[in-house]
Amino acid sequence: MVMTTRLFVSDRLSNGAKLTLDADQAHYLGRVLRIEAGSTISVFNGNDGEFRATVDSLRKKQAILLVREKIETNLESPFKIHLVQGVSRGERMDFVVQKATELGVKRITPVLTDHGVVRLDPIRGEKRRAHWQRVAESACEQCGRVRPPLVDAPISLNKWFGANDVADATQLILTLGANSRPMTAMDAPPVKLCLLLGPEGGFSESELDDAALAGFEAVSLGPRVLRTETAALTAVAIAQSLWGDLRPEPTPRPA
> Hey, what CATH topology would domain 80-243 get?
Alpha/beta knot (3.40.1280)
Q: Buried (b) or exposed (e) across 208-229, using 16+ Cβ within 10 A?
A: bebbeebebebbbbeeeebebb
Region 85-109 average pLDDT? 95
Region 7-16 average pLDDT? 93
Contact 8, 148 (CB under 8 A): yes
Contact 46, 11 (CB under 8 A): no
- Given a cut of 90, is residue 76 above it in pLDDT? yes
CATH number of the domain at 6-71, out of 4.10.520.10, 2.40.160.40, 2.130.10.10, 2.40.240.20?
A: 2.40.240.20
Q: What is the pTM of this model?
A: 0.91
